[in-house]
Structures are given as C-alpha cells and as structure tokens.
Amino acid sequence: MYMSREGLAASFTTGDVARICNVTKRTVIKWIDGGKLKGYLIPGSRHRRVSAACLRDFLRAHKLPNYDALVRRRILIVDDDRDFQELLKDALRDRYDVDIASSALEAASRLPVFQPDLILLDIRLPDLSGLEVCRHFQAYRTERKAPILTMSAFGSELDPAEIRRSGADAFMAKPLKLAELRERIASMVG
C-alpha cells in the first residue's frame, strides 16, 4: 500500500491508521485515547487525526508496517536558480515528493504546509544567507527530525565548522553529482 502525501495536510484519519496497521478503527481510537498513539481531536467534532510524524514514530516503536514504504519522503529544495531547481526536482521526484522555494522567506512559508523530511538548502540565497536560514529553521529541524543538507558552488570559501555550527547536518559542493546526492539523501532520510 502506497500513499502519497501530496495534497494531504500530513495527517491521517483513524480509518487511514487502521488500514495501515491492519486493525479496527476502534482499536486506533483506543490507542489515541489511551495515550499510546499521539493524536488530536478536530475542533467541534469527535473525529481524531494523527500527524504523519506521530504515526511514523508509533509504527517504528511498535515494529508495525514500515512507514517509509507507505509514505514517500518529502524534500524541500531551496535555491534561487530555477534551472537548478528543476534539474534537482526531475532527478529526485521518482523516489521523493519534491517542492521548491527560491528564497528564505518562501522556504519559511513552505515548511508548515509541505512539511519536508529533508531540506536541501543553497548557502547563497538572495534574501538571507543559507547559514542564517539553518539557524532560523532549527526549531522545525528538531521537532520534525528533518535534516538540512546544504550546498554551494563556493565551497572552498566556506568554513566547514561554521556550516556545522549553523545547524546544517551535511554539506555538498556544487556542481553536484546526482548519484552522490541521491546516496546522501537516502542515507539521511531513506
């Protein structure tokens, strides 16, 4: 069973969770009400939802079906070069759901909507340094356990220690070798 998260608000109904776990909806409701599975009530109703991150953690903790095989990982590409964005999007979309942002501001607005599992971030952006963006995205990175992979054509001018201090998990120099990029992403998020 494969479910694309495109168009979803990255949450699942009790019926969705029941199908994934091969149990009844009532069992899922008991898990949520008993605190075993983190979920929430829809305001003004008795319907419950489970965030994708909480479902992933629950499945891993209880050794239930492989969440990663059910839901495609999401990558947010933050780069101001439109041609490069499209190249990366084409190279990655066979395995991942991909969204693009051209600036730090646009990336910040995409985080709560797209909820990426990995952020692929250019160090040089028109409105803010990629290192500053890393610092600003730390709360999201920590909450979602979403690594930040930075990249730059000016790798020789950058201090690797400064990149790590900014909160980035890894760095790759441009021009990127697509096979190496795919391997690095797979090692970071699957």
Average pLDDT, the chain: 86
pLDDT tens digits for range 5-46: 443 446 889 998 998 888 999 999 999 999 999 999 988 888
pLDDT tens digits for range 152-164: 888 667 777 888 8
**Angle of CA points 142, 143, 147, to nearest 5°:** 45
Bridge partner residues of 149 (DSSP): 120, 170
Provide the b/e sequence for 52-78 (b: ≥16 CB within 10 Å): bbbbbebbeeeeeeebeebbbbbbbbb
At residue 99, the pLDDT reads 95
pLDDT tens digits for range 103-134: 999 999 998 888 899 999 998 888 888 888 88
- Kindly tell me if the per-residue pLDDT of 52 is higher than 90: no
The pTM of the full predicted model, rounded to 2 decimals, is 0.69
Phi, psi of 43 (to 5 degrees): -55, 135
| Domains, the chain, with CATH or none | 11-70 (1.10.1660.10), 74-189 (3.40.50.2300)
